[in-house]
Amino acid sequence: MPRISTSLLRKARAIDSFLPALLAPCRDLPAAQNELRWLREHVDKVARARRAKGDTLAKGALLRQLVKERASGKPLQYILGTEYFGNLEIRCRPGVLIPRADTAASIAYLVGLLRNAPGLPSQLRVLDLCTGTGCIPLLFQHELYSTPNDIDLRVLGVDISEKALRLSYHNLRKVCNARQYAKKTYLKFMKADVLVNPFAQQTVRSLSLKAALNHNKQPQFWDILISNPPYISPSAYWKTTTRSVRGFEPKLALVPPSRASQTDEEQGDLFYPRLLAIAQDVEAKIVLLEVADLEQALRVARRAQGLDVFDGIEIWREQPDDARHDVPNDDDISILGQGNARSVICWRGAGASWLGKATIATSQQEDAQRLIQSSSESHLNTTPARPDDAGRAEPLFDVGSFSRSPGRPFRMSKTIPRQGSLERLGNPNYCVKGDSTK
């Protein structure tokens, strides 16, 4: 990284004594000025809140401390406590990955295609794996109801991190208290380890997704599966991420865990075989997976092609709504939009019409046979359970939960779980009106 010139430091100091310290993380003067303005606004906001409680605050000392933290590389989002994800302001805390704008662009584009799609079910079920702050379920809800419609939305966010789950419930409370469309949504978060093979021995503290769905009385079948998993390889982590990311954001959310005899590339791709296997198990009609770059996108797309389950596969760039469209030489996979490749989207059955794609005539029996055959092959290469000293638990399955019936709409009550015991957060009836098993 090039050093900051003396002339730029002098110019910054002449404008404001705090600016030189912000040049290191910002790298240019306009960006440093913007960040200083945001920090001052944040200090003013904190001071007003303190005054409302009858307390006082030394604003100069607090601003000096915040500038010092930012100069050390701490992300601005952790200092201010929020980040915009689409049109939503999402709470951010250390230990949980900061939402990115390119993820929001993919979600907004997907929901834009679905909003007026023909043939959507009366209740649309969306499963978000590795949910983090809960930003994807919340933005999906926001975008879907940005125009009036009669769809009841059921969304489930899943993460292995208890810290992430507490933050996701905080964001759920914050967003849904301010917006009326929450009354049409059942939105919940749940702990599970998506890498655990559901048919292997597993621990009570790290249930597989299938076992956690069963334990929390959630449906076994979902219309749409979305995931922004850890996808950075160990070498790319040191080569492509910034000092701020490496020093402050959770590596667990960025780099997949290592496995014996894995190459660097295979470790970066670790989540995708499991996610595609889960997509088959839940019979998802649309699958949206975020990736690091075009090379990884092509590897994931080829793996999805090899399953012989999906009727179509595309790669979306950072701006998928742009008119640009190209096809790689060696693969029949369309690449849409401009910018870096960021997502792989797959669809099957009714998902084609929901996305406005050409449909392929396939009987329900043929589609079921494809899923069964491909799923049985996928489970031969699933990841074993993670070793742990805790008690063992075998997944139990209720045969009745595998039969999908329309049932009555699922509603969210006004009561949202507080931050606290995850035993309460894991209770399927804690914030739900109605029986989720019907």
**pLDDT band at 416; cut points 50, 70, 90:** very low
pLDDT tens-digit readout, 298-322? 999 999 999 999 999 999 999 998 8
Radius of gyration of the chain measured on its C-alpha atoms: 23
Q: Are 295 and 424 contained in the same domain?
A: yes
Identify the CA nearest to 204 among candidates 426, 432, 429, 434: 426
Across-strand partners of 432? 412
Q: What is the mean pLDDT of residues 75-98?
A: 96
Residue 422: pLDDT over 90: no
Residue 28 shares a structural domain with residue 126? no
Q: How far apart are CA 427 and CA 353, in angstroms?
A: 36
The model's pTM is 0.83
Instruction: Classify 426 in phi/psi space as left (phi over 0), alpha (psi -120 to 50) or beta.
Output: alpha
Q: Do residues 59 and 117 both lie within one domain? A: no
Do 275 and 411 share a domain, yes or no? yes
89 assigned to some structural domain: no
- Report yes or no on 83 lying in a domain: no
More confident residue, 362 or 269: 269
In a domain, 40, yes or no: yes
Q: Is position 233 within any domain?
A: yes
Q: Is 76 part of any domain?
A: no
Q: Check whether residue 57 and residue 11 sit in a common domain.
A: yes
Q: Pick the residue with more confidence: 413 or 75?
A: 75
Q: Domain tally for the chain? A: 2
Q: Where do the H-state alpha helices sit in 53-86?
A: 59-71, 76-80
Q: What is the pLDDT of residue 251?
A: 95
Report CA 260 to chain centroid distance, whole Å: 27
285 phi and psi angles, rounded to 5 deg = -85, -25
Judge whether 94 lies within some domain. Answer: no
Backbone φ and ψ for 312, nearest 5 degrees, come out as -160, 150
The answer to whether the CB of 18 falls within 8 A of the CB of 67 is: yes
Contact 128, 92 (CB under 8 A): no
Q: Are 127 and 158 in contact (CB under 8 A)?
A: yes
pLDDT at site 370? 62
Domain that holds residue 392: 101-433
| Rounded Cα–Cα distance for residues 253 and 131 (Å) | 10
Same domain, 54 and 126: no
Q: With the CA atoms of 95, 96, 97 and 101 taken in that order, what torsion angle do they form, in degrees rounded to the nearest 10?
A: -140
Quick check: 225 and 278 in contact, CB under 8 A? Answer: yes
90 and 164 in contact (C-beta within 8 Å)?
A: no
Going by pLDDT thresholds of 50, 70 and 90, the confidence category of residue 179 is low
CATH number of domain containing 392: 3.40.50.150
Average pLDDT over every residue of 241-249: 94
pLDDT tens digits for 88-132?
999 999 999 999 999 999 999 999 999 889 889 989 999 999 999
Q: Are residues 50 and 123 in the same domain?
A: no
pLDDT of 391 > 70? The answer is: no
Shared domain check, 109 and 57 = no
How many percent of the chain have pLDDT more than 90? 65
* Same domain flag for 363 and 254: yes
Domain contains 93 = no
Query: Residue 235 to residues 241, 255, 341, 380: CA-CA distances in angstroms?
Result: 10, 10, 19, 28
Q: Cβ distance 84 to 92 under 8 Å?
A: no
Write out pLDDT tens, residues 216-236: 999 999 999 999 999 999 999
Query: Could you tell me if 258 and 330 lie in one domain?
Result: yes
Whether residue 56 is predicted with pLDDT greater than 70 in this model: the reply is yes
Q: In angstroms, rounded to a whole number, what is the distance separating the alpha carbons of residues 376 and 372?
A: 6
